[in-house]
Amino acid sequence: MNYVSKGSLSKLFLFAALVISSVLISILLTPNITFATGTTYYFSTSGSDSNNGLSAGAPKQNISTALTLMNAGNTILFKRGDAWYNASLNLTNKAGTSADPITIGAYGTGPKPVIASMYKLDSGWTNVPGTNRWQKSINGSTSLDAYRVFVNGVPKQKVASANDVDQLHEWAVAGGIVYVYTGSSTVAPTNVEVIAYNLASVVVMENTEHVTMKDIDFRGGSYGRVIWVKAPSSHLTFDNLIVQRAVQGGIQIGNLGTNPDDTSSVSHITITNSLIDKVWLPEENDTVVTTGDGLFIHHAVDGVVIRGNKILNWGHSGISLTNYKNNLLGVKHVIVEQNDISAGTSGYMHGLDMDGYSGKTTNNIIRRNYIHDYTTTNHVLGSSNKIYGNIITGATGTVLPKHSFQPWGLDMYPWQAVSGDDDTWMEAKDSWIINNTITETDQYAIYLGDNPGSPSTNKVENNVIANNIMYEYGLSPQGQVGLNVHPQVTGTAFVHNNNFWDPVVQAGDTNGKVARYKNYLGATPNFSLNYDAAQLNSVCSSSCSGNVQINPVFVDPTNRDYRLQSSSSTTMQTGALSYHSDMDRGYSDFFGTPFAMSGGSIGAIQYPGVSRTNLSAGIAPTFSSSASDPPPSKLTNGNTASTDYVTVGNPDQLVYAQIDLGALKDISQVKMWHFYTDGRTYKDVVVQLSRTSDFSSYVTTVFNNDKDNSSGQGYGSDDEYAESANGKTLTFAPVTARYARFWLKGNSVNTNSNFVELQVFGTDPIAKLVSQYRDITYSAAGVNDSFPSKLSNGNLTSSDMVDVGTGAVSAVMDLGSTVTLNQISMWHYFNDSRKYHDVIVQISNEADFSSYTNVFNNDTNNTAGQGTGTDAEYTETSAGKTIAFSPISGRYVRFWLNGNTVNTSNYMVELEVYGY
């Protein structure tokens, strides 16, 4: 493996004088070897537009100026810790290229720069005489109304009039004047943010291409959404963002469909590693702004990756994949994976809402997500969609009167958009719900329903429900059943090798009823005629088999550790059917481990699964403030006695302890103990994980009970808890991180912060397929390969190939965002055992490959001009070629070929990139 930059290439040319001409000609004739044309500009609120902006020491200032510089190849960086209010980025008609994208990011240290379409009201507040209420006009206006108000990042509930504002959580607006309550007639509010009626979305994109946004905190915006991506647009990346403090939606992508002649679409979108949080107060539930989706992918979108995001507090859905416009493309080839989705304090939220007209919402993959503590069923409609490896838990029925009561794990129940129009029925057919673990639902784990009026083309038909664990499901009007296949479902539902277990009902009755399957008595539905697993296998034997009801014996279901144990039944460990041929190349369990090719386990986490270890044992923490903790550290020595504590900082001081694990790990559990002998509760308990030591990037908050944002780490939706000898266990979706930070600020007994033990559990990172449905560009013109590319569609047959031209040619895969990579597999045409020449694989973070790392190179005479390789040529086979290497951070992967031992053609079949 070797790292190459343009500087090192220049030295190579000077040294190799005898071959300089041929090498230089080769480089100049290769389209992918291009030199960057863009410029990096710096912006700060303390800067000036009269500066040239070419360094952090001479930044420009205004957003309007930044917009004029957002051109192909340019990078615009905003200073961390700065904030631009009453600002928006309209990138309509802005276009980069594949080699020269537009990049918008951050520089410096500290919190992400804020760009907010909100008004900031700090000084100038006036006390309303005789009250603890304060008032200030919105931007000097006497007529503006407003949707939402935040004080120090904490949302407030809007009430009818100024006179009603007499609680800390309340606010009102009248005649352009905002009223808030501080509880004091002498202490004015500070850091008040207002989303007024007249504000634009924070980011608008239309006819926008090849733009990357990362490391920015976007807030506020219009009634509809914070970020709005309109068709036509393509090749957009949103990475490591905060999208928060919204009225309705977070990120909306697609074609509104208001113009029937506009059939344009959005394609090639990447949304990764971001916090998408409406920020919601419980008192705001069931108000006029309860609707909205965290991610709303709608009507005309093809090719999206939604990976590793934390999404919470949305008033309708965390993620919505929706099409209800017949004239538009649909929502296709979307991969939703490794996201943490929850309702937070929102009283109504689907984790996932996927639906669409016939053939419109199709070929989407929902895998390895943690959907938890939500209020309303997950819709999995559409056709030919695949849902696997997910943990879905904690469905608690909404109590809001405006909404339906559907506390289910997931459902397939089509609905009609326009009454009387058969073309407006949603569909639910030909989809796969495989190897999921669905627990703690107030009613069914899985519900299939239909309507007698739905057309035959949209019936609930040919769906497979297999290898799932349905555990701890609640009592419904149809009985305490994990699966409810409604009698009105006339299409086939294949139900294989699922396990049903409710620990309360079946503790003394292992033959209890667990399922309802089209239960009719004559022509009348009989809601009481339910089945145990054996009866289910018998009554629908043509489509049902292998279903059981066995205690799965999870490791720790109380703390949502749903791994199987050695004491679990062998049926749980090996009784599942294999679906590799029907699924896709990324078919793996919740942790990312590929499912066993033969048989496998039931549920989202296969046996034996990952073996979590205490990664932090014996590692000395660092502290934000003074602490007496000589080695070996009391906080990581395994002693959880309350007397073995460390006091950090001064009384009533916000402090943290931080643990460096030494390398990136997949962290999925944290245990912590604070001083506990008197049952105290601690304030501002915040637990965060990050890839960077200063927590400036890639930060995931896995617990936060700071309800007033006094820690400055965001408004928390978790509750305070009484300390005990058991400590606090947090189990969550795997987060790839190196650092863990634990915050405290006093407790209910005194103002001290006393840590006892901190334990971080996980594994070495598990690399997963990250190249599926990714876009490919070619150095040769006229290559015939439409999206989704044959090179990233999972088809490994030699006939599913792409002719990428003759001579030294290359294909470049854009992963959408930076990923830590450690394995690449590739297939070329292999039917005649040929060998290919000049096989080179390069990884770069630069779109123009101005610097890169070679991870494979068998070009021993530098014919391709990429340096002399030392790897050997190899015979092509159906097994392909797998290259493993030490982890490398990269976004772009380039694959070279230069003919073969049979002819001069270059045929690529499949390119797979693995990382985390």
Residue whose entry in the numeric block shows the structure tokens 């989202």: 604
| pLDDT tens-place string over residues 48-75 | 999 999 999 999 999 999 999 999 999 9
- Kindly indicate the confidence band of residue 848, based on its pLDDT and cuts at 50, 70 and 90: very high
Look at residues 305, 313, 572 and name the one whose alpha carbon lies nearest to residue 437: 572
Residue 456 is predicted with a pLDDT of 82
Residue 95 is predicted with a pLDDT of 97
| pLDDT tens-place string over residues 510-567 | 678 999 998 865 566 566 689 999 999 999 989 999 999 999 999 999 999 999 999 9
Q: What is the mean pLDDT of residues 584-601?
A: 93
| pLDDT tens-place string over residues 376-398 | 999 999 999 999 999 999 999 87
| pLDDT tens-place string over residues 669-697 | 999 999 999 999 999 999 999 999 999 99
Q: What is the DSSP letter of 13?
A: H
How large is the C-alpha radius of gyration of the chain? 28
Measured in degrees and rounded to the nearest 5, phi and psi for residue 6 equal -65, -30
Cα–Cα distance for residue pair 320/311, rounded to 1 Å? 12
- Kindly indicate the confidence band of residue 856, based on its pLDDT and cuts at 50, 70 and 90: very high
| pLDDT tens-place string over residues 241-292 | 999 999 999 999 999 988 888 999 999 999 999 999 999 999 999 776 668 9
Percent of the chain with pLDDT over 90: 86
The answer to whether residue 508 scores a pLDDT higher than 70 is no
* H/E stretch holding 386: strand 386-388
**Architecture in CATH for domain 2-30+768-915:** Sandwich (2.60)
- Kindly indicate the confidence band of residue 423, based on its pLDDT and cuts at 50, 70 and 90: confident
Cα–Cα distance for residue pair 549/895, rounded to 1 Å? 50
Residue 64 is predicted with a pLDDT of 98
The token duo for 841 is 């694989």
Look at residues 324, 318, 312, 296 and name the one whose alpha carbon lies nearest to residue 381: 324
651-669 residues labelled b (16+ CB within 10 A) or e (exposed) = eebbbbbbbebeebbbbbb
Residue 741 is predicted with a pLDDT of 98
Q: What is the mean pLDDT of residues 150-177?
A: 96
- Kindly indicate the confidence band of residue 7, based on its pLDDT and cuts at 50, 70 and 90: very low
Q: What is the mean pLDDT of residues 601-626?
A: 96
The token duo for 211 is 């733009």
- Kindly indicate the confidence band of residue 1, based on its pLDDT and cuts at 50, 70 and 90: low
Residues contacting residue 270 through CB under 8 Å, at least 6 positions apart:
236, 237, 238, 239, 304, 305, 307, 815, 816, 817
**Dmax of the chain from CA atoms?**
92
The answer to whether residue 324 scores a pLDDT higher than 80 is yes
- Kindly indicate the confidence band of residue 35, based on its pLDDT and cuts at 50, 70 and 90: very low
Residues contacting residue 538 through CB under 8 Å, at least 6 positions apart:
none
Cα–Cα distance for residue pair 287/378, rounded to 1 Å? 22
Q: Which residues pair with 758 in a beta bridge?
A: 672
Q: Is CATH 3.30.9.10 the classification given to domain 613-763? A: no
| pLDDT tens-place string over residues 717-774 | 999 999 999 999 999 999 999 999 999 999 999 999 999 999 999 999 999 999 999 9
Domain ranges across the chain? 2-30+768-915, 40-112, 119-196, 223-382, 408-610, 613-763
- Kindly indicate the confidence band of residue 479, based on its pLDDT and cuts at 50, 70 and 90: confident
- Mean of per-residue pLDDT scores for the chain: 93
Q: Which residues pair with 432 in a beta bridge?
A: 386, 464
Cα–Cα distance for residue pair 719/491, rounded to 1 Å? 45
Residue 32 is predicted with a pLDDT of 38
Angle at which helices 6-15 and 20-28 pack, to 10 degrees?
Answer: 150
One DSSP character per residue, 730-752 reads EEEEEEEEEEEEEEE--BSS-S-
Cα–Cα distance for residue pair 641/639, rounded to 1 Å? 6
Residues contacting residue 846 through CB under 8 Å, at least 6 positions apart:
36, 852, 892
Residue 174 is predicted with a pLDDT of 95
Cα–Cα distance for residue pair 69/67, rounded to 1 Å? 5
Look at residues 712, 899, 719 and name the one whose alpha carbon lies nearest to residue 809: 899
- Chain mean position to CA 608: 26
Q: What is the mean pLDDT of residues 23-37?
A: 41
Cα–Cα distance for residue pair 721/727, rounded to 1 Å? 10
Domains 2-30+768-915 and 613-763 share a fold: yes
- Cα→Cα distances 104→76, 220, 239, Å: 5, 19, 10
Classify 632 as helix, strand or coil. coil
